[in-house]
Structure 1
Amino acid sequence: MLMELAGCNATQATLTMKLRPFTTAADFRTRTRKQKGVGNNMMDTYLDVVTGMGEVDKVLGECEQIGRELNGIMQVWASGAANYIRKQPAGVPDNIHLKDYQMLGVNWLNLLYRRGTSCILADEMGLGKTAQVIALLAHLKATKEPGPHLVIVPSSTLDNWMREFSVFAPDLVVRSYYGSQGERYELRGELRAMDDLDCVVTTYNIATGSPDDQKFLKRKMDFKVTVFDEGHQLKNSESKKYKDLMQVRAEWRLLLTGTPLQNNLQELVSLLSFILPDQFRDANESLRAIFKVQPGSATNLLSRERIMRAKKMMTPFVLRRKKAQVLKDLPSKTERIEYCAMTDLQREVYEEAIQRSRRALVAAPSTKMGNKADTTSSAHVLTDLRKASNHPMLFRRLYDEKTLRLMARDCLKEEEFLDRNKDLIFEDMEVMTDFELHRFCLTYKHLNKYALKNDEWMSAGKIEKLQELLPAMKARGDRVLIFSQFTQVLDILEVVLDTMELKYLKLTGQTAVSDRQNLVDAFNKTDDITVFLLSTRAGGLGLNLTAANTVIFYDCDYNPHNDKQAEDRCYRIGQTRQVDIVRLLTKGSLDEAMYELATTKLKLDAEVSGQQQAPTAKAEGQSTAEGDAAEDTGSAEKRMKKSLLSGLKQQFERETQSKS
């Protein structure tokens, strides 16, 4: 308790307790200031927290009053009274049939709009948040509440939003504000002159970009409703994006997110402050003080109090449904882990990465590494180990120095390299991976002889597992999504699938926005394309890939919510088959620690939303990570990296001590 209330560590808490009893606050300050190793700001931190609790109580009172009013209205709905929109809004085509929970969502949004209370629609991905929003806008037009409205989306979902408008409300006049600087200049004039404009759809990059774009969206247009898709992008109240978008004028704000609480309770407060600045403005600093959680016991009173208070603030303004609650006809989903044994070369590569990691984490700062390959800072330790867990060709082991010098010499025979220096070419190739060098050799006539000839890309633990799984999946008619964090892994997988003679498509962050929907359509409509390769974060937001019924995670994301969103590309409305989630973990590698931490991280959403998390895959002998994800202090990625690095350092130190 002292660690949380006073913001101190375990050592400071122990030393402070030995100084008890204290007669006054001044006595506490004086004696702790004199005690070496304690510090003198604990009392100030404690007073900030206590004061913050009082301020938050005022905000909670307002939130609870709003909640009581909303609950009263919704209870009247349940009794069959008036004021509930029972028919689909005019403007939604007759061939579209909104589900009951979606109609409830439209009613909830309409209720809060009429009250002028901004909110968050946080339905789990795949439940049709886009359809509910468009239906609301169609209802507003039908009830003489004209726009224009503004929808701000990630670039990757712009085309999808425009398509959804044409499907769910074709009569709405919708224009995208996107394109080159010159095209946007023309659009600004056109949009301002339109009397019948219902909605403008633009991207976060443009809405926070040039002064002309910001001026147009903030001052020149009088938007009634502003929708922020993937609203968890606004979780950091100190970011430029957050501050810029706070300036967009709108009578009512709506955030859409499938992950209302990604990292910590402070982020939830940032989201609520964004949609309800008037309610939260005066208590903002107090909220930050009490929700600035510190690592500590998962069971202490203050952690439970924070979670309870977050729930109270969250309830009136957030509508959150999960598929298991509302889609009774959705097929089942199974999850399992497939452990993969390292190949001999991969084991060597991983052990070398471990040794570089050991030097980076526990060696004295003055230690000098012998060569470039050994120079590994702690920032690169995790990437090094993750790459070794994935595939040995992400390093250079097959192309030795002698071969590289021969390749550098033969490069001079190519027209592109006629005026280049052989030594500089060698230096460039020296830092390339085996796979990059192999592809480089295939590009040039005089280097073809150095290309790998024995399908070396097939030699990795996870690749051998895919060779076992994919043919059986194809035989059953399964359609497979394979996700990875590393674009070079996806490049290797392309060659692997070619070797296995399996048809595939690939979408990464380098894929043009204009091509992404075409790839999705091609996969959904072409049954003989077995595999779709995707990078977990890029281009996947809002993509509907229900043609697939199997998801394979080649590696984990630092933020497990991103993996959850990835699997929901196919586990959503429209899915008719059982969905299988397969996670590949390399035995004895960093993969296992990452997965264990990820399962811990996912507890926070369940804690705050008050709902139980779906069971996670558990293999025989697998341990369950303990801890309370509510204690996250930064982003999920930074948090996990810090934990992994700390665990590795402790492991190395124990090994050193046992040898001495």
Structure 2
Amino acid sequence: MDKNGLIKPSSDLSELPISKKPSLMDADVQLKSYQLLGLNWMNLLHSKGYSGILADDMGLGKTCQVISFIAQLVDSYTPPDEEDGDYEDGEDDNGNPPWPNLIVVPPSTYENWLAEFERFAPEISVMPYYGSDRRNIDPEEARNYHVVLTTYTQVERQHEDLEFLQQLSPHAAIFDEGHKLKNPKTLIYKKMMRVPSDWRLILSGTPIQNNLKELLSVLHFVEPDLFKGDDFERLQTIFEAKVPSKDVHNFAALAKERVGNARTIMAPFILQRRKDDVIDLAKKIERNIVVGMHPDQKLIYDEIKGSYLHQPKTAKRGAVAAIKSGNSWIQLKKAAIHPQLFRRHFTDSVLEEMVELLWSSCSEDELYVQSKEDRHKALLLADFKEKSDFELHTWCKEFKKYIGHLDIPDRSWEEAPKVKKLLELVRGYMETGDRVLVFSRFEMVINILRDTLYFAGIPYCELTGQTNTADRFPEIQKFTSDASIPVFLLTTGAGGTGLNLTAANKIILFDQSDNPQDDVQASNRAHRIGQSRDVEVVRLITRDTVEGLIYNSCVKKLMLAACVEGQFGAGGDGDEETSVEEECRKLMLLESKESREG
């Protein structure tokens, strides 16, 4: 502790007010020294009435630290003496007990949180607030529990759930993967701001995701009474100011000022420890593998690139029918991944034949239509025209008896260079006894990889946004306990945060996120406490596509986060307010111009 009584990451443990784990924690649990320090830090902020951000690296046990803090609150509570009205440290100014406490988590970590409470502090009572059973829960009944656990999606979808949490009026509100609250314009940010609580804590291994404005938004969320008014608006103005990158002197000065301000602002409210500083962890080795494009894929990519850089109306019709139904930036990224994410094989005439055969052979229920009226037939055809080759392939599989002869060639999806390379890597890992997590941003890509592994006879587990919450934890347990399963397929959104998957020591990032922290979090599912082997992260990049530009832009954003967190000097040579898409588009336009002139 320093002369002001503040807890530093390097504090001597003998000086800490709480020198051992709370008595309500399981006897077999041992808090590591940095976790005990984290408990003291949370306890100090709580006692002073300040909220905060626990921003330890992923894998350092933020869940365990939070559970220890809840246990400390409950452990230290003593009912007030009715005669003298004295209050103990564990209660609020009104003598109320320090519960219920609300914890909001992503759906993918919900079951894990329940399991971790049972493992670390089984005497802490936890009420699950999720699914249809939650409708029978009364707020007054919930107030008797130490913790109410729910998910972001649960609160986001139903207004009645927000009303429940408002009536609950939790003592502490804790938000796992709290970088989800980086944008004050989102519905979940607005809803969570309306939940009253005495204290707030955000958990995030990546408090700076894309730019410094997002950091201010997170700080405003945890301490809205401090980060408001003229001072807050002045900071926003500084972080939003634009200086042309050609003006090197002013650009560098502004970048330095921004980073310096960010460090000063963060210091009182954030505790961040890096894995390398507090534990002896296995190495993490990263490498990029560059692959080429399939000829069909190059045709698609070039067409979408032309559409993206110029006007959508200039794109040729037919070859890339899917582009008109989606964001062209997303379509461009998909084109760099796999050709069957678009419709080329299934021409309009083939689709018409498919619909005719299905219409004459199948019932309304089988085709998911209300009736056999002509208008519903036209709607089915219109729906087919919006689907990709691989989506239409799944229809041909399901109705093989009627339209199987119109399907794409069997296993043709394996011809894409990225898929070929993935199979090569996985087979190599199987020979050496390694196990791998494969991440993609797109569920359809996971579907392609699922079929690829199935036909290759390679066992796998799978977790995507379509996986039911009740099935997620069993799927994780299955992969963890069964060493004969070499591959776990995950979408970055569903499986990239909060999970402990140290059974794997290889990571394949099949495609990249615009937000570099998404991929950092994904890779850290395996690189965390409990990992005994070195972890290798392989990033697959398609040559001469936007993927290389995305990678370079993301590296700059990671450098910004490192500067603010104090790993490097207060420098920065890029405009952190420029999105990855904006930067990539500028570079592609420049390349296109040089190509025409050259």
Of 33, 41, 46, 1:108 maps to: 41
SS in 2 for 1:481: strand
1:86: Cα distance to partner?
2.2
Structure 1: which amino acid aligns with 2:290?
A: Y
Structure 1 residues 390 and 627: CA distance shift in structure 2, 3 A? farther
1:352 aligns with 2:308: no
Q: How many residues align?
A: 564
Question: What's 2:474 paired with?
Answer: 518
1:402: Cα distance to partner?
4.6
SS in 1 for 2:23: coil
1:316: Cα distance to partner?
1.7
| Gaps in structure 1 of 5+ consecutive residues | 1-65, 614-625
Question: What's 1:37 paired with?
Answer: none
Structure 2: which amino acid aligns with 1:646?
A: K
Question: What's 1:291 paired with?
Answer: 239
CA contact (8 A) 2:287 2:539 kept: yes
SS in 1 for 2:116: helix
Structure 1 residues 474 and 76: CA distance shift in structure 2, 3 A? closer
CA contact (8 A) 1:356 1:375 kept: no
Greater Cα shift, 84-93 or 558-567: 84-93
1:652 aligns with 2:597: no
1:601 aligns with 2:560: no
1:471, 1:372 → 2: CA distance? 34
Structure 1 residues 355 and 206: CA distance shift in structure 2, 3 A? closer
Question: What's 1:217 paired with?
Answer: 165
1:342 aligns with 2:293: yes
Question: What's 1:628 paired with?
Answer: 573
1:418-429 paired onto structure 2 within 5 Å: 419=372, 421=374, 426-429=381-384
1:315 aligns with 2:248: no
Question: What's 1:9 paired with?
Answer: none
Question: What's 2:398 paired with?
Answer: 443
Structure 2: which amino acid aligns with 1:263?
A: N
Of 51, 59, 64, 1:131 maps to: 64
Question: What's 1:202 paired with?
Answer: 150
2:546, 2:450 → 1: CA distance? 24
Of 219, 226, 229, 2:176 maps to: 229
Structure 1: which amino acid aligns with 2:454?
A: D
1:241: Cα distance to partner?
3.2
SS in 2 for 1:300: helix
1:262 aligns with 2:171: no
Larger Rg: 1
SS in 2 for 1:217: helix
Per-residue CA deviations over 1:552-578 (Å, capped at 9, x if unaligned) read: 011001101000011111111111111
1:206, 1:436 → 2: CA distance? 29
1:84: Cα distance to partner?
3.1
Q: TM-score, normalised by structure 1?
A: 0.79
RMSD: 2.8
1:612: Cα distance to partner?
4.5
SS in 2 for 1:158: helix
Per-residue CA deviations over 1:470-506 (Å, capped at 9, x if unaligned) read: 1110111111111111111111111111122100111
Structure 1 residues 189 and 74: CA distance shift in structure 2, 3 A? closer
Question: What's 1:331 paired with?
Answer: 282
1:314: Cα distance to partner?
0.7
Q: TM-score, normalised by structure 2?
A: 0.87
CA contact (8 A) 2:320 2:342 kept: no
1:590, 1:532 → 2: CA distance? 26
1:378: Cα distance to partner?
12
Question: What's 2:494 paired with?
Answer: 538
1:465: Cα distance to partner?
0.9
CA contact (8 A) 2:13 2:33 kept: no
SS in 1 for 2:138: helix
1:330-409 paired onto structure 2 within 5 Å: 330-360=281-311, 373=320, 380-409=327-356
SS in 1 for 2:493: coil
Per-residue CA deviations over 1:278-329 (Å, capped at 9, x if unaligned) read: 332332222211221425447521221121111011112100011111111x
CA contact (8 A) 2:309 2:585 kept: no
CA contact (8 A) 2:351 2:381 kept: yes
Structure 1 residues 348 and 159: CA distance shift in structure 2, 3 A? same
1:343, 1:76 → 2: CA distance? 53
Per-residue CA deviations over 1:411-441 (Å, capped at 9, x if unaligned) read: 2342236936576655443433222222211
1:170, 1:147 → 2: CA distance? 18
1:185: Cα distance to partner?
4.4
1:433 aligns with 2:373: no
1:97, 1:512 → 2: CA distance? 33
SS in 2 for 1:277: coil
